[in-house]
């Protein structure tokens, strides 16, 4: 039998993986493959056999090796950690079937929760001879790699008040300097009102309000400071003390120079995050705080916020029958790794789960026994998603009944727990209309409130508030009364210049006259998604991604076949690129077309828990086509005191690149 290069790489990776597992512990590989649904007694679960075992104590804690935060039991002897194992009472260590909390402690030692190799290596990290245990200060030029130990007292003093690199004479700023450069939004608003000419302000406000007079200038400025850009001659009129503390007086919305202070956190868990935010925002006055997730996985969560209005939507791994694992490798790039991937590979080995891997690497032997392995060009995963979506539209392999539910009540009657905005109408022209690129509101037609949207009701073929319809059209090219309308969404930065001629300037939809007398052109959110993925053929998308179009077609058809028992799960692989968030949104659009949200075997709110999810999924996000105006993530903390500095700065909007565009 002939062996291809790809087969050789897969088998070699599998062999290497086996050697690696055996080298770190012979039970590791067996525990991953062995049935995870019953507690597996560990031969060494009892206290270690030492002469003075009474000095051995067990300390319960959490592993911070990844965000799964599995429960651990550390066996400590004479102040030193000798062994770390999983806590069988913990949900993450026990495949979501933990020991009951009323199980006696002595009985619990007959069982052990699972731990990945990273977690089991905690003792090695703790006593690593290269572990940094004292503050180190640079002792030379940047990049020379020269450092020297200093005391904690010196560290605190220089971080706060500034210091000097003795070897080079370089002066370093301290936090106090940035805190002194803080200026509140209220101070800036007052300075603008007092010193900037009213003639300019009225001209600027008129452009925002479309001619409507401003009644409360202070309130108006506070709400629209992010849109204020002062000409140089107007900015010069601001007091010197104000200009000195602003990053750019011509663009006050960038905020104070205290925003130059950036704090980057590691595992910003509960308690740590609140403390750091209070310190950074309230003491220094900077808005720039980055946690671990901001640099490791935020594009994924941003994409899921676009799609689901919240992150952390994952697969029901215990019940799914078909899974597309997209850039999510075992024990490497998806968490919680222990329960998810152990169950995942056990069920795959038993033959009751088909797995398609999408990853440019043949890594860890994981793909050796997969149903299909698709290897895209790095950064072009979105093209595969577009190809799958196009095929699902071509074959009508989507859950029509689910998508036609325009509201939660209609969805519940169909046995759903969520609804989508697939049927909601979006204004696609004219470009100069205030509602352009937004969902059409019922108040614009005088048929409902501002919080209701407009759909084309299937029963009456009339426009209704989405709350008043039980079933609505989702594709305008299927509605006989639809006409060819202008589509002005694809222009300027919104298109990939390499395919500019392929974007249609028209679509199927309706011409609608609003109650104010203006006319707009509308189509459904799902029609816009269909138009977008039809920019290329399946073969065209496959060429962009560098994959076989037959693999895209087969995967799409199988997803449609398994329906609500199929799901697409992704992690860092497809999203750690400049087009990452939009790629994640496209991936989750596949899940939405399957209608698998909140269903056993589909996508659920908390990975593996079966928890019911909230309503409101979006195929087109309000204010933008597929890209939302991202709101700041806010923790649930007490309301700051009036004396505490308030963070503020402009919200920066970037246009994600389309699949196939250059990075």
Q: Tell me, what's the pLDDT at 122?
A: 86
Helix (H, G, I), strand (E, B) or coil at 352: coil
- 3-state secondary structure at position 64: coil
Cα separation, 433 vs 506, in Å, equals 17
Mean pLDDT of the chain: 81
Q: How many CA atoms lie within 13 A of 281 on its CB side?
A: 21
Where helices occur in 414-537 by DSSP H, the ranges are: 442-445, 525-533
Angle, helix 580-594 to helix 298-308, in steps of 10 degrees: 40
Q: What is the pLDDT of residues 512-526, one digit of tens each?
A: 999 999 999 999 999
The number of angstroms, rounded, from the C-alpha of 164 to the middle of its chain's C-alpha atoms is 40
pLDDT, tens digit, 9 for 90 and up, residues 112-135? 888 888 888 888 888 888 899 999
Q: Which two tokens stand for residue 17?
A: 């993986």
**Percent of the chain scored above 70 by pLDDT?**
80
618 Rama sector, left if φ>0, alpha if ψ -120 to 50, beta otherwise: beta
Q: How confident is the model at residue 174 (pLDDT cuts 50, 70, 90)?
A: very high
3-state secondary structure of 106: helix
Rg (CA), the chain: 29
DSSP string, 172-233: E--HHHHHHT---HHHHHHHHHHHS-HHHHHHHHHHHHTTPPPS-HHHHHHHHGGG----HH
Question: What average pLDDT does range 304-313 have in this prediction?
Answer: 84
Class level of CATH domain 39-126:
mainly beta
Tell me if 344 sits within 8 A of 36, measured CB to CB.
no
Contact (Cβ atoms closer than 8 angstroms) between residue 298 and residue 633: no
What pLDDT does 30 receive?
Answer: 38
Q: Considering only residues 449 and 263, tell me which one the structure prediction assigns the higher pLDDT.
A: 449
**Which residue reads 């508030």 in tokens?**
465
* Residue 66 tokens, joined: 């990844």
Q: How far apart are CA 30 and CA 158, in angstroms?
A: 52
pLDDT of residue 314: 85
Q: Apex CA 610: angle with CA 604 and CA 612, to 5°?
A: 70
| Residue 331: how many other CB atoms lie within 10 Å | 22
31 pLDDT band, cuts 50/70/90, is: very low
Lowest average pLDDT, out of 440-454, 456-470, 489-503, goes to: 489-503
Q: How far apart are CA 112 and CA 89, in angstroms?
A: 9
> Tens digits of per-residue pLDDT, 391-438?
999 999 999 999 999 999 999 999 998 899 999 999 999 999 989 999
Helices 381-394 & 549-562 angle (0-180, nearest 10): 60
Asked which of 272-281, 289-298, 555-564 is least confident by mean pLDDT, the reply is: 289-298
pLDDT at residue 485, rounded to an integer: 96
Q: How confident is the model at residue 25 (pLDDT cuts 50, 70, 90)?
A: very low
Per domain, the residue ranges of the chain are 39-126, 136-172, 183-255, 400-533
Which of 102-111, 303-312, 580-589 is the least confident region? 303-312
Instruction: Quickly list H helices, 358-499.
Output: 381-394, 400-403, 408-413, 442-445
């Amino acid at each position: 039998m002939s062996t291809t290069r790809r087969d050789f790489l897969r088998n070699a990776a599998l062999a290497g993986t086996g050697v690696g597992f055996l080298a770190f512990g012979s039970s590791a590989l067996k525990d991953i493959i062995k049935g995870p649904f019953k507690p597996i007694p560990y031969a060494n679960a009892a206290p270690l056999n030492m002469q003075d075992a009474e000095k051995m104590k067990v300390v319960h804690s959490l592993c911070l090796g990844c965000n799964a935060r599995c429960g651990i039991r550390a066996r400590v002897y004479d102040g030193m950690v000798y062994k770390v194992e999983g806590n069988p009472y913990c949900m993450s260590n026990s495949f979501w079937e933990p020991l009951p909390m009323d199980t006696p402690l002595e009985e619990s030692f007959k069982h052990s929760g699972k731990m990945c190799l990273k977690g089991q290596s905690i003792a090695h990290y703790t006593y690593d001879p290269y572990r940094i245990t004292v503050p180190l200060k640079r002792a030379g030029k940047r990049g020379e790699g020269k450092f020297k130990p200093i005391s904690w007292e010196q560290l605190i003093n220089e971080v706060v008040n500034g210091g000097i690199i003795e070897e080079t004479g370089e002066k370093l700023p301290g936090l106090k300097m940035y805190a002194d450069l803080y200026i509140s939004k209220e101070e800036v608003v007052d300075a603008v009102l007092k010193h900037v000419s009213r003639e300019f302000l009225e001209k600027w406000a008129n452009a925002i309000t479309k001619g409507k007079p401003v009644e409360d200038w202070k309130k108006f400025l506070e709400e629209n400071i992010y849109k204020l850009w002062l000409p140089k001659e107007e900015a010069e009129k601001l007091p010197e003390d104000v200009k000195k503390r602003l990053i750019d007086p011509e663009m006050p919305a960038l905020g104070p120079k205290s925003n130059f202070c950036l704090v980057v956190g590691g595992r910003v868990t509960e308690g740590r995050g609140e403390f750091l935010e209070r310190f950074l925002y309230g003491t220094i006055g900077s808005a720039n705080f980055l946690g671990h997730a901001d640099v490791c996985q935020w594009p994924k969560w941003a994409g899921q916020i676009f799609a689901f209005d919240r992150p952390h939507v994952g697969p029901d791994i215990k019940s799914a029958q078909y899974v597309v694992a997209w850039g999510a490798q075992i024990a490497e790039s998806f968490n919680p790794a222990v329960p998810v991937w152990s169950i995942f590979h056990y069920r795959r080995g038993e033959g009751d789960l088909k797995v398609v891997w999408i990853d440019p690497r043949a890594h860890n032997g994981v793909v050796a026994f997969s149903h299909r392995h698709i290897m895209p060009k790095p950064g072009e995963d979105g093209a595969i998603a577009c190809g799958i979506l196009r095929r699902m539209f071509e074959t009508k392999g989507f859950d029509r009944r689910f998508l036609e539910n325009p509201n939660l009540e209609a969805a519940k009657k169909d046995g759903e727990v969520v609804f989508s905005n697939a049927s909601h109408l979006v204004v696609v022209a004219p470009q100069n209309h205030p509602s352009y690129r937004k969902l059409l509101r019922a108040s614009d037609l005088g048929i409902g409130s501002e919080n209701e949207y407009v759909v084309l009701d299937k029963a009456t073929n009339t426009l209704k508030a989405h709350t008043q319809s039980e079933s609505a059209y989702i594709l305008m090219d299927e509605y006989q009364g639809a006409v060819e309308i202008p589509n002005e969404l694809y222009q300027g930065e919104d298109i990939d210049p390499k395919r500019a001629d392929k974007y249609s300037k028209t679509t199927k939809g309706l011409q609608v006259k609003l109650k104010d007398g203006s006319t707009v052109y509308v189509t459904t959110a799902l029609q816009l998604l269909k138009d977008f993925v039809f920019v290329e053929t399946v073969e065209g998308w496959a060429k962009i991604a560098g994959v076989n179009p037959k693999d895209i077609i087969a995967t799409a058809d199988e997803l449609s076949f398994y329906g609500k028992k199929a799901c697409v799960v992704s992690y860092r692989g497809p999203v750690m690129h400049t087009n990452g968030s939009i790629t994640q949104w496209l991936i989750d659009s596949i899940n939405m077309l399957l209608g698998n949200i909140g269903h056993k075997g589909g996508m659920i709110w908390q990975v593996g828990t079966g928890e019911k999810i909230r309503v409101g999924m979006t195929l087109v996000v309000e204010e933008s086509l597929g890209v939302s105006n991202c709101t700041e993530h806010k923790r649930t903390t007490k309301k700051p005191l009036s004396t505490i500095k308030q963070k503020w700065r402009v919200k920066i909007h970037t246009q994600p690149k389309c699949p196939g565009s250059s990075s």
